[in-house]
Amino acid sequence: MTTTIQAIVFERVNEVGFGTFTLPEMNENQMLVKTRYTFVSSGTETRVLGGYYGAADKFPLIPGYTAVGEVVSVGGNVKGYRVGDLLSYNPQTNLKEINSQWGGQASMHLVGVEEKPMLLPRGSDPLDYVVSPVAAISLRGVMAAQPQRDECAVVIGQGVIGAFSAGFLVNKGCRVIAVDLSESRLQRSLSYGVHACVQASDPDALERILAYCDGGANIVVEASGSTHGVALAHKLIRRTPNVFRDPKTYYVNPISGIVGHWPRIVYQATYIDKLSLDPRVDLQSEGVLLLMPGDRGNEDRLNAIEAIRSKAIDPRLYIDRVVPYTEAPAAYEQLRLHPNEVFSVVFDWT
């Protein structure tokens, strides 16, 4: 039995269209999943559309890396999943007719058990969970920093990764300062409960941010993907004191009082330009933990689903528009040309 699907296709650089394709026959270790919603932000997929991330020589291709859907058929060897289950999964569309990167923007997918699709809570609205794979990226970085209640955290960049990072840090009880060039994104950050927001283009942005911190931030999340953002992050980190007390008496803090309480920088972005760091000059601190989280894993995805279920974050705050997938060309154009106005889009495939 053959299954015909519809898919969004990146025809060439900055050109979006559609295609009709045939899935290979489902094997005994797979499930056929009907797509409900897919999520796209102004970040990764728009860069793929621009020919980055190795896409330049792959056009035409099917994009997309986050989807939720309903199981409509189950292979004979599949255990633990049933027809009617709602899943969050890493969609892969491997077709002979066309390339994919990663292939999520399609009406149906073959999903293997080994790909560890995530069961959504019973009775849930799948729209709430379409953001969970992206939220899991931010959550991994936040958990790596081990935020403590009442710590000061600065998040540079309020794209989708920075926005989720800010929301999770607020949930952990941190005093969060959001930084971005876009006024609309800064206003949005207030809905996540941040303590303050600062316009990155202000000539005294550094001093303005530090006015909200006592000597710098315990945690800085760099999510802007810019060299300027990285340089700012290095200047914002809290300096671990070396000499203080009576200025007439030389005194060095015991290292035992600092170990375990180092300030942390979390690099949560990808960078087109090469970065450089001179720790002594750029950080001016006796110790800083530099964290570069990898891709989210299964546990991170499960934790993100639980954060949504338990209302630790409100997923609807991170969705700008829900539109039929047939409006994809216009939606991608808005995401690409007006990223400060259109934060994210969900495509409805129902």
Q: Does one domain contain both 150 and 214?
A: yes
Whether residue 181 lies inside any domain: the answer is yes
Strands 264-267 and 289-291, how do they pair? parallel
Whether residue 310 lies inside any domain: the answer is no
Q: Which residues form the domain of 191?
A: 134-291
Average pLDDT of the residues in 259-276 = 87
Q: How many CB atoms lie within 10 A of CB 125?
A: 15
Using pLDDT thresholds of 50, 70 and 90, give the confidence band for residue 337: very high
pLDDT tens, residue by residue, 182-216: 999 999 999 999 999 999 999 999 999 999 988 89
Q: Closest by alpha carbon to 125, among 297, 314, 332?
A: 314
> Which strand (E) or helix (H) includes residue 178?
strand 175-180
- pLDDT given at position 288: 92
- pLDDT given at position 91: 85
Q: Does one domain contain both 111 and 171?
A: no
Whether residue 139 lies inside any domain: the answer is yes
Q: Closest by alpha carbon to 87, among 45, 21, 132, 25?
A: 132
Q: Does one domain contain both 286 and 139?
A: yes
Whether residue 104 lies inside any domain: the answer is yes
At 310, give phi and psi (nearest 5°): -85, 0
Using pLDDT thresholds of 50, 70 and 90, give the confidence band for residue 243: very low
Look up residue 224 and give its two tokens: 């802007």
Q: Does one domain contain both 138 and 283?
A: yes
Q: Does one domain contain both 12 and 29?
A: yes
Q: Does one domain contain both 331 and 265?
A: no
Whether residue 305 lies inside any domain: the answer is no
Beta bridge partners, 266, equal: 221, 291
Q: Does one domain contain both 56 and 124?
A: yes
Whether residue 215 lies inside any domain: the answer is yes
Whether residue 304 lies inside any domain: the answer is no
The CA dihedral of 165, 167, 168, 172, to the nearest 10 degrees, is 130
The last residue of one of the domains, among 271, 291, 311, is 291
Q: Does one domain contain both 197 and 217?
A: yes
Q: Does one domain contain both 126 and 138?
A: no
Q: Does one domain contain both 123 and 197?
A: no
pLDDT beyond 50 at 119: yes
For the question of whether the overall pTM of this predicted structure is more than 0.85, the answer is yes
pLDDT tens, residue by residue, 71-104: 999 999 999 999 999 999 988 878 988 999 889 9
Which CATH number covers residue 51? 3.90.180.10
Domain tally for the chain? 2
Whether residue 298 lies inside any domain: the answer is no
Q: What is the mean pLDDT of the chain?
A: 92
Q: Does one domain contain both 281 and 139?
A: yes
310, with CB counted inside 10 A (0-12, 13-18, 19+), is exposed
pLDDT beyond 70 at 132: yes
Q: Does one domain contain both 260 and 326?
A: no
Residue with tokens 């995805």: 301
Which CATH number covers residue 245? 3.40.50.720
Asked if 174 contacts 200 with a C-beta cutoff of 8 angstroms, the reply is no
- pLDDT given at position 92: 81
